[in-house]
Amino acid sequence: MSDKEAVDQLSNSYQELTQEIGKVVIGQKEVIKSCLISIFCDGHCLLVGVPGLAKTLLVNTIAQVLDLNFSRIQFTPDLMPSDITGAEVLDESRQFRFSKGPIFSNIVLADEINRTPPKTQAALLEAMQERSVTVAGHQYKLEKPFFVLATQNPIEQEGTYPLPEAQLDRFMFNIVMTYPSYQEEVQVVKDTTSDHAVELKKVLDGNTISQYQKLVRKIPIADNVLEYAVSLCNKTRPNTEMAADITNEYLSWGAGPRASQYLTLGAKCHAVLNGKYSPDIEDVQSVALPILRHRIVRNFKAEADGISEAKIIESLF
């Protein structure tokens, strides 16, 4: 199969996935697209929104249409790191053996990830970056593909712990879910208060997803588009040579090199899903907000003036 045919196949698979997911999740098309882009880019996704916006339902539905192993971890204040990674236990022959935790799965739903203290949140760091878990000096590799799709309540709510910057940086996308429109909510209520049953079919398996991830990396990108992605990240870094005026005024610090990598990969995948064979600057801009939003930190002046992360990022375009 040629690369052109593979690109067309990925685009068709994406359309089929969105149709299947749309049977259960009404609306939220941009959110679904961002989640699927992160999967095809071998990244992780953080969904932020108030309770009841179908964050968990979306992740569950994605897991159903992908023929992959799935596990759900409900993050609570008393959750321990070993509850995620697993631990060594003493078996009948009085030998220690490693009992795998729920992190050993293809898709891991980290539900309400900011309901647990940072010590437990940190148990995901190695898994998300290195695709491995180290317990008692032994390293255990995770099966690929591996994705963490996490949900988070707004940090203004009671009983939440803000995610550390190092943890946030490992998520490719930070997606903010908003309330559905009036018509969408009418449809949601109709579907969920009747005996309406939906059957979902499996669309992709692990091998196909791995092939698509390799394909996305092979997509050519023009130098000027790549340089635009890197310069966009550089503009977010205050008191540096390329810093924008709004950056120096309103940001404490900006996005690191991982953001440039994700912008480039995200633009490639966004182009493919829209039937293009190479990304342009518009593709970079399309994925910039969810990639940069959680990698810039506003200062007190920005909060006092009511300047949001989105407004700062959009002004850098």
What domains does the chain contain, in order, with CATH numbers? 3-206 (3.40.50.300), 220-316 (1.10.8.80)
Render pLDDT for 102-141 as a digit per residue (tens, 0 to 9): 999 888 988 888 888 888 888 888 888 888 888 878 888 9
Give φ, ψ of 81 to 5 degrees: -55, -40
Mean pLDDT of 235-260: 89
Can you give the pLDDT at residue 185?
84
Average pLDDT score over the chain: 87
Whether the predicted pLDDT of 260 surpasses 90: yes
Can you give the pLDDT at residue 196?
72
Can you give the pLDDT at residue 27?
80
Mean pLDDT of 14-27: 86
Give φ, ψ of 95 to 5 degrees: -115, 145
- pLDDT higher at 199 or 45: 45
Can you give the pLDDT at residue 81?
87
pTM exceeds 0.85 for this model? yes
226 confidence band (pLDDT: 50, 70, 90): very high
For residues 109 and 73, is the Cβ–Cβ distance under 8 A? yes
- Distance, in Å, from the CA atom of 68 to the CA atom of 61, rounded to the nearest integer, reads 12
Q: CA-CA distances (angstroms) from residue 129 to 44, 146, 304?
A: 10, 10, 35
Exposed, middle or buried by CB within 10 Å (0-12, 13-18, 19+), for 6? Answer: middle
Whether the predicted pLDDT of 93 surpasses 80: no
155 confidence band (pLDDT: 50, 70, 90): low
- Distance, in Å, from the CA atom of 279 to the CA atom of 276, rounded to the nearest integer, reads 7
Neighbouring CB atoms inside 10 A of 51's CB total: 11
Exposure string (b/e) for 132-142, b if CB count within 10 Å is 16 or more? ebebeeeeeeb
Q: CA-CA distances (angstroms) from residue 15 to 10, 59, 115, 163, 277?
A: 9, 17, 34, 33, 17
Can you give the pLDDT at residue 178?
83
Bridge partners of residue 88, in order along the sequence: 98
As a whole number of Å, the end-to-end CA separation of the chain is 37
Can you give the pLDDT at residue 253?
86
Q: At what angle do helices 55-65 and 29-40 cross, to 10 degrees?
A: 50
40 confidence band (pLDDT: 50, 70, 90): very high
